[in-house]
C-alpha cells in the first residue's frame, strides 16, 4: 500500500457514537492553544465528532476574533457547540489550568514551568493527560526557485541567527537572505527554537513574525531570498527543504519520514487534558480523535496520521548486511516505538501505538503475518552494551504486544548503528527507538535464519538497566 494514498484518505463521518444526553445544550467543551492544531485540524475534528454524535446541520463558524471558531449544530431542536481559540500553545496551557479551556492544543510537549500551573504537576505528563493527536513535520521553506534543496540543522541555525546572511554561504545563489518566523506565542516557534536555534543562537532582531502558518508561507512564496518555517500542512506554494543533523543523512518532510519521526524536525501535536477534570464528552472526543475516523481527518488536513501503514523504505547507505537482509524479506510499518526519557517505559504515544498495532494485526489480511521488532540505541555505551540495550527495548515492545494478544517474532538489536539524530540531548532519546517490520509466513524461515547468528534467545540479561 502506498503511504501517501493511505495517509491522505478522506473520512466522511457517520453517526457512530452514543447520542448526546437528553437536554444537552450550549457549549459542550472548549479548546484553546496552538494555531498549528487549531487553525483547521481541531475545528474539523470537532465537526466530525458532532456529526458522529448525530448532531444536525453542523458548521464551522469564524467568530469576531481572528483564529477563533465555533463548531455548532442542532440536536433535538437545541443549539450545541464546541469553541476553538488558536492563539498559541502557551495560551492553551494557561486556559486549561484556569478552567477556561477543557483541552489545551499544543505543538510541543508541556514545559516544566507549565506543569507548575496545575495542582498536581506530575500528572500532566501521564497517559491520562497527554494525547498525541497527529505527527507534524516542521518544514523549512524557501522560494520555489531557490536551487538549495538540503540544509543541515546547523546551517539553518546560522541563517536565522545571522551568521549566514547570503545564500552563497550555504551553497546557494548570490542573494541576500530574508527571514520569516512564527510569533513567540506559538508552539511552532517553541519547537523551532528548541530543535534548531538551541541555547547558542538567537533569531535576528526585526525578523517579520506571523501568528498564522499560512500567511508566513505565502510571504515566503513571494520573496526569492526568503526562508521560513511552518507546520507540514502549510507548505503551500513554497519549497520544503530536506534537513539533516551532522553526519546523518538528510530526509525530506515526507509522510513516510514524519510518521516514523526519523525526519530531523518531526514533532508531535498534542491535546492535553486535566486528568481530574475531564468530562465524559471530552474523554470521548479524545478517543474519537485518536481512532480511525479522527486519524483519517488528520491526514486529510495535511498532517500525518498515526494509523499503521506498510511501505518499503530506501535503506541508508552503509546499513549492516543483516539489516539489509531482513528488510529484503519484510515491509516496514509507519510506527517507531520510543520511550520516556531515562527509562525503559514506553512513552504515551507508544502506549496508543500498541493498541493501534494490535488492531492492525487482527485484520483478516494480517492474521497470517508476523511482526519483526528491531531495536536501536545510541553510541554513548560500548558497542556490546548498546546492542544489548537496543534489543531489550525491542523486548519491552514485544511484551506489551503480547499483553494485547499479539505475538511478535524473536527480536533483534543493532545498538548505536543507523542514527536518525545527533547523539546528544533530545537526539539521543530519538535514536533509542524500535522499528516495526512485517513479513509473511512464507518468509518466516528465511527471516529467522538471518537472525540466528546475531541473537539466540529472547531472554535479556537481568542486570542491565534500559537507559
pLDDT at 453 over 70: no
**Which residues, other chains included, contact 21 with Cβ-Cβ below 8 Å and sequence gap of 6+?**
none
What sign does the dihedral 87-88-90-95 (CA atoms) show?
A: positive
The CATH number assigned to the domain with range 139-252 reads 3.40.190.10
In percent, the amount of the chain with pLDDT more than 90 equals: 72
What does the pLDDT read at residue 335? Answer: 95
> For residue 136, is it left (φ>0), alpha (ψ between -120 and 50) or beta?
beta
Q: pLDDT confidence of 275, banded at 50, 70, 90? A: very high
**Beta bridge partners of residue 373, listed in sequence order:** 436
Q: pLDDT confidence of 309, banded at 50, 70, 90? A: very high
What does the pLDDT read at residue 256? Answer: 82
CATH superfamily placement of domain 3-132+269-301: Periplasmic binding protein-like II (3.40.190.10)
pLDDT at 463 over 90: no
CA distance 414 to 311: 21
What does the pLDDT read at residue 423? Answer: 66
CA distance 252 to 256: 9
Inter-CA distances, 242 with 32, 148, 230, 274, Å: 32, 10, 14, 37
What does the pLDDT read at residue 455? Answer: 53
Three-class SS of residue 83? strand
Average pLDDT over residues 432-451: 91
Average pLDDT over residues 345-359: 96
CA distance 311 to 249: 19
Angle value at C-alpha 155, between 151 and 156, nearest 5 degrees: 80
CA distance 400 to 406: 9
Grid cell locating 430: 530519538
Cβ–Cβ contacts within 10 Å for residue 165, how many?
13
What does the pLDDT read at residue 460? Answer: 47
Per-residue pLDDT tens over the stretch 229-252: 998 889 999 999 999 988 888 999
Q: pLDDT confidence of 13, banded at 50, 70, 90? A: low
What does the pLDDT read at residue 225? Answer: 98
pLDDT at 458 over 60: no
Q: pLDDT confidence of 3, banded at 50, 70, 90? A: very low
pLDDT at 190 over 90: no
β-pairing, 78-86 vs 26-33, is parallel
What angle separates helix 280-290 from helix 292-301, to the nearest 10 degrees? 60
The CATH number assigned to the domain with range 310-452 reads 3.30.1330.60
CA distance 64 to 446: 63
Q: What is the DSSP secondary structure assignment for residue 437, as one 8-state letter?
A: E
What does the pLDDT read at residue 12? Answer: 55
pLDDT at 200 over 60: yes
Q: pLDDT confidence of 461, banded at 50, 70, 90? A: very low
What angle separates helix 383-403 from helix 348-361, to the nearest 10 degrees? 60
Per-residue pLDDT tens over the stretch 43-90: 999 999 999 999 999 999 999 898 999 999 999 999 999 999 999 999
In percent, the amount of the chain with pLDDT more than 70 equals: 93
Per-residue pLDDT tens over the stretch 355-387: 999 999 999 999 899 999 999 987 776 778 888
Average pLDDT over residues 37-42: 94
Q: Which of the pair, 248 or 279, is modelled with greater confidence?
A: 279
Residue 160 · residue 179 · CB < 8 Å: yes
Backbone angles phi, psi at 355, to 5 degrees: -65, -45
CA distance 62 to 131: 26
What does the pLDDT read at residue 10? Answer: 38
What does the pLDDT read at residue 185? Answer: 80
pLDDT at 5 over 50: no
What does the pLDDT read at residue 462? Answer: 40
Per-residue pLDDT tens over the stretch 101-137: 999 999 999 999 999 999 999 999 999 999 999 998 8
Residue 75 · residue 24 · CB < 8 Å: yes
Q: Please list the residue range(s) of the chain that carry CATH number 3.30.1330.60.
A: 310-452
Question: What integer best gives the mean pLDDT of the chain?
Answer: 90
Residue keyed to cell 552503509: 318
Q: Please list the residue range(s) of the chain that carry CATH number 3.40.190.10.
A: 3-132+269-301, 139-252
Residue 225 · residue 172 · CB < 8 Å: no
DSSP 15-26: S-SPPPPTT--E
H-type alpha helices, 201-301:
213-221, 255-259, 280-290, 292-301
Amino acid at each position: 500500500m502506498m503511504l501517501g494514498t493511505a495517509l491522505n484518505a478522506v473520512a466522511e463521518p457517520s453517526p457512530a457514537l452514543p447520542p448526546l444526553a437528553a437536554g444537552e445544550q450550549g457549549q459542550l467543551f472548549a479548546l484553546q492553544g496552538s494555531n498549528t492544531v487549531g487553525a483547521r485540524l481541531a475545528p474539523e475534528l470537532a465537526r466530525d465528532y458532532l456529526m458522529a454524535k448525530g448532531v444536525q446541520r453542523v458548521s464551522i463558524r469564524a467568530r469576531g476574533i481572528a483564529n477563533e471558531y465555533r463548531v455548532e449544530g442542532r440536536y433535538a431542536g437545541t443549539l450545541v457547540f464546541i469553541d476553538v481559540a488558536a492563539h498559541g500553545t502557551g495560551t492553551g496551557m494557561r486556559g486549561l489550568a484556569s478552567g477556561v479551556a477543557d483541552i489545551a492544543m499544543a505543538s510541543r510537549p508541556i514545559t516544566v514551568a507549565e506543569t507548575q500551573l496545575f495542582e498536581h504537576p506530575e500528572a500532566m505528563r501521564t497517559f491520562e493527560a497527554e494525547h498525541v493527536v497527529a505527527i507534524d513535520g516542521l518544514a523549512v521553506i524557501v522560494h520555489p526557485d531557490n536551487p538549495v534543496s538540503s540544509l543541515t540543522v546547523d546551517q539553518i541555525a546560522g541563517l536565522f541567527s545571522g551568521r549566514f546572511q547570503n545564500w552563497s554561504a550555504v551553497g546557494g545563489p548570490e542573494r541576500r537572505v530574508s527571514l520569516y518566523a512564527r510569533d513567540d506565542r506559538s508552539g511552532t516557534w517553541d519547537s523551532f527554537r528548541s530543535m534548531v536555534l538551541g541555547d547558542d543562537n538567537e533569531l535576528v532582531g526585526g525578523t517579520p513574525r506571523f501568528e498564522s502558518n499560512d500567511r508566513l508561507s505565502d510571504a515566503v512564496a513571494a520573496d526569492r531570498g526568503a526562508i521560513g518555517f511552518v507546520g507540514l500542512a502549510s507548505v503551500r506554494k513554497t519549497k520544503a527543504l530536506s534537513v539533516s543533523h551532522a553526519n546523518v543523512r538528510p530526509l525530506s518532510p515526507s509522510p513516510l519520514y514524519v510518521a516514523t519521526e526519523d525526519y530531523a524536525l518531526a514533532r508531535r501535536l498534542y491535546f492535553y487534558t486535566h486528568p481530574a477534570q475531564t468530562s465524559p464528552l471530552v474523554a470521548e472526543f479524545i478517543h474519537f480523535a485518536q481512532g480511525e475516523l479522527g486519524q483519517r481527518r488528520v491526514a486529510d488536513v495535511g498532517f500525518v496520521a498515526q494509523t499503521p501503514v506498510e511501505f518499503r523504505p530506501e535503506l541508508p547507505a552503509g546499513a549492516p548486511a543483516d539489516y539489509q537482509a531482513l528488510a529484503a524479506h519484510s515491509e516496514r510499518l509507519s510506527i517507531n516505538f520510543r520511550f520516556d526519557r531515562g527509562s525503559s517505559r514506553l512513552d504515551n504515544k507508544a502506549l496508543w501505538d500498541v493498541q493501534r498495532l494490535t488492531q492492525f494485526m487482527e485484520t483478516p489480511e494480517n492474521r497470517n503475518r508476523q511482526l519483526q521488532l528491531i531495536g536501536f540505541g545510541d553510541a554513548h555505551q560500548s558497542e556490546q552494551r548498546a546492542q544489548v540495550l537496543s534489543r531489550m527495548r525491542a523486548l519491552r515492545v514485544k511484551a506489551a504486544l503480547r499483553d494485547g494478544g499479539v505475538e511478535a517474532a524473536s527480536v533483534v538489536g543493532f545498538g548505536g548503528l543507523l542514527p536518525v539524530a545527533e547523539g546528544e540531548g533530545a537526539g539521543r532519546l530519538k535514536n533509542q527507538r524500535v522499528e516495526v517490520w512485517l513479513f509473511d509466513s512464507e518468509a518466516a524461515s528465511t527471516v529467522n535464519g538471518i537472525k540466528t547468528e546475531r541473537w539466540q534467545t529472547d531472554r535479556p540479561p537481568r542486570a542491565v538497566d534500559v537507559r
